[in-house]
Amino acid sequence: MTDAHTTGPFIAAIDQGTTSSRCIVFDRDGRIVAVEQKEHEQIFPKPGWVEHDATEIWENVQYVVAGAIEKAGITAADVKAIGITNQRETTLLWDKATGEPVHNAIVWQDTRTDALCKELGRNVGQDRFRRETGLPLASYFAGPKIRWMLDNVEGLRERAERGEILFGTMDSWVIWNLTGGTDGGVHVTDVTNASRTMLMNLRGLEWDPKILSSMQIPAEVLPKIRSSAEVYGTAKGGALDGVPVASALGDQQAALFGQTCFSEGEAKSTYGTGTFMLMNTGHEPVNSYNGLLTTVGYRIGTEKPVYALEGSIAVTGSLVQWMRDQMGLIKSAAEIETLASSVDDNGGAYFVPAFSGLFAPYWRADARGVIAGLTRYVTKAHIARAVLEATAWQTREITDAMTKDSGVELTSLKVDGGMTSNNLLMQTLSDFLDAPVVRPMVAETTCLGAAYAAGLAVGFWPDTAALRANWRRAAEWTPRMDAATRDREYKNWLKAVERTMGWIEDEE
């Protein structure tokens, strides 16, 4: 697959995502040389519960790494560094001596810790740890998931306290295994992933002993917190034996990096399983008063950390998957566009996919999905349209909050991710935001960001300016909707959102 123009050396990026694991080999211009990808099983043991088999995930990672290297027609000697990016917050505990997970990984969308989060809020409520961590108490984050496992897996707390158990998000799990596992694997995480545990102090970038004790999590299980771009260790065995492992970033922060949003006020929105908009806010964390998260954007080596404001939407691409797999209304994700394009509008229907409650800007665990405005007129094509509009309206709610918190008006939005191949969605997004939407040439910004950070760490690229020079626009959509229509539709959307709330009552 190597084309005539591409010569080494290369950087390999591993993206351990929610639905699949990917490995992409990049050249010095940030162009894709080879890709391998493999999906893993989504395990739904009960309503609201979502798990992954971490052993399967590690096998898939090895498979995609070997596949990408083979497709590129290169060897480990051609690869200067490995970058890691990952689905965030998904939580795993494993046995240090055997490398065996003690339980399936609990995925970020899982809501089993709702009651625990309420209890942890005590009399203070959702914002009990917001000042330290930038996050509201919600089932989304890793800390309460660790606590759930310690409370629910027999004998686990004792083993953890004896130092026999390691915790990690998927970055830690992949790095530990890559660097040798039970044979000297390094147990680390980066600042961006650590900032999603609810256990790290945002300013000091260290585990917060007070929060650990409130959540009853023994410090023995925790990895070392490192920068996003630095050499953590060397790959041992496998297709990349001997190559330095030189970056880790949560997938959304990696996309921010891959979109080269290196200046304050620059933002991107990534459309995958969920949708996540991040805005670079510079070297100071900015508090949100409008339902956004404060998070670490990235930290290069020993430089000052860069912070971000984030709007997280739990369900966007996964709603399209749901239409395909659970409803059977389409056969492929791309078909949603064909179906939605067969009608001119939503026919009065609005679909609020509050499947895991509502994330930003509401943070309501008690919400559940609603299709509102149904009449006999509505067809599956209208529902398909409402599905796409749901992604665009949810983005609009986030950009409104972002403008209020940051004081920065949105002049255009950089987008990426699998859903951006949907033209109707991108046009709708531009219409609803009343702003241009631009997509770069390399829409795989998550892997690209991890590659960039790893390349910076080993001197493959000299600085962020060299990376900016690689960013190229591939497509742009501009608004075509009149203001009156937009305002009316937005009002209807907000009415539908109201109807999702309070569905789950306490005793349930």
**Stretch near Mg ion under the rule CB under 5 A, chosen from 214-222, 407-415, 429-437, 443-451:** 443-451
Stretch that binds Mg ion, among 15-23, 61-69, 276-284, 347-355 (CB under 5 A): 15-23
List the structure tokens of 315: 């369900």
Site membership for ligand ATP, residue 19 (CB under 6 A): yes
Burial of 55 (0-12, 13-18, 19+ CB in 10 A): middle
**Beta carbon nearer to ligand ATP, 113 or 316:** 316
In the complex with ligand ATP, the residue whose CB is nearer, 19 or 464, is: 19
CA–CA separation, 178 and 237 (whole Å)? 8
Q: How far is 138 from 231, CA to CA, in rounded Å?
A: 33
Name the closest residue to Mg ion (Cβ): 17
Of 279, 261, 318, residue with least CA distance to 87: 318
- Write out the binding residues for Mg ion, residues 240-269 only, by CB under 5 A: 251
Checking DSSP bridges between strand 224-226 and strand 188-190, what pairing results, if any?
parallel
Note whether 40 and 29 are within 8 A (CB). Answer: no
Shortest reach from residue 277's CB to ligand ATP, in Å? 14
**Using H for helix, E for strand and C for coil, what is the string for 362-377?**
CCECCCCCEEECCCCC
Evaluate whether 36 touches 85 at the Cβ level (below 8 Å): no
Question: Is 160 within 8 Å of 154 (Cβ atoms)?
Answer: no
- State yes or no: 418 annotated in a binding site: yes
Determine, following the binding rule CB under 5 A, whether residue 144 of this chain makes contact with Mg ion. no
Q: Choose the binding region for ligand ATP from 24-32, 231-239, 296-304, 333-341 (rule: CB under 6 A).
A: 333-341
Euclidean distance between CA atoms 201 and 143, whole angstroms? 13
Instruction: Identify the residue among 166, 419, 453, 458 touching ligand ATP (CB under 6 A).
Output: 419
Work out what residue 421 binds among ligand ATP, Mg ion, none; the CB cut-off runs from 5 to 8 Å by kind: ligand ATP
**Is residue 167 within 8 Å of 197, Cβ to Cβ?**
no
Q: Is 317 annotated as a binding residue?
A: yes
Q: Which of 143, 123, 124 is nearest to 201 (CA)?
A: 143
Count of residues that interact with ligand ATP, criterion CB under 6 A: 21
Adjacent-strand bridge partners of 189 = 225
Residue numbers 246-285 binding ligand ATP by CB under 6 A:
251, 272-273
What whole-number distance in Å separates Cα of residue 269 and Cα of residue 320? 18
What is the C-alpha to C-alpha distance for residues 9 and 82, in angstroms, rounded to an integer? 12
Q: Is 133 in the site for ligand ATP (CB under 6 A)?
A: no
Q: Which stretch binds ligand ATP (CB under 6 A): 302-310, 331-339, 344-352, 404-412?
A: 331-339
**Helix 251-258 crosses helix 445-457 at what angle (to 10 degrees)?**
80
**Cα separation, 34 vs 22, whole angstroms:** 11
> Per the structure block, which two tokens stand in for 503?
């569905």
> Does 17 contact Mg ion by CB under 5 A?
yes
CA distance 219 to 57: 26
Query: Does 101 engage in binding with Mg ion (CB under 5 A)?
Result: no
Residue nearest to ligand ATP (CB): 418
Q: Which stretch binds Mg ion (CB under 5 A): 183-191, 209-217, 231-239, 272-280?
A: 272-280
Q: Is position 77 an interface residue for ligand ATP (rule: CB under 6 A)?
A: no
- Residue 60 annotated as part of some ligand binding site: no
Distance CA 470, CA 259 (A): 10
Residues 272, 274, 291, 369: which binds Mg ion (CB under 5 A)?
272
Q: How far is the CB of 474 from ligand ATP (least distance, A)?
A: 15
CB of 272 to ligand ATP, least distance (A): 3
CB of 312 to ligand ATP, least distance (A): 12
Least spacing, CB of residue 323 vs ligand ATP, in Å: 9
Distance, in Å, from the CA atom of 337 to the CA atom of 388, rounded to the nearest integer, reads: 8
DSSP state, 246? E
Q: Does the annotation place 19 within a ligand binding site?
A: yes
Among 288, 394, 422, 445, binds ligand ATP (CB under 6 A): 422
Residue 88 among known ligand-binding residues: yes
Token output for 228: 């996003």
Return the number of the residue (15 or 489) whose C-beta is nearest Mg ion: 15
- Measured between its terminal Cα atoms, the distance across the chain in Å is 54
Using the rule CB under 6 A, is 500 a contact of ligand ATP? no
Span of 17-25, 145-153, 253-261, 363-371 interacting with ligand ATP by CB under 6 A? 17-25
Within 13 A of 455's CA, how many CA atoms are on the CB side? 27
- The span from the CA of 157 to the CA of 164, in Å, is 10
Residues annotated within the binding site for ATP are 18-20, 273, 317, 321, 418
Residues annotated within the binding site for sn-glycerol 3-phosphate are 18, 88-89, 140, 251
Residues annotated within the binding site are 18-20, 22, 88-89, 140, 251-252, 273, 317, 321, 418, 422
Residues annotated within the binding site for ADP are 18, 22, 273, 317, 418, 422
Binding residues vs Mg ion (CB under 5 A): 17, 251, 272, 446
Binding residues vs ligand ATP (CB under 6 A): 17-20, 87, 251, 272-273, 317-318, 320-321, 333-334, 336-337, 417-419, 421-422
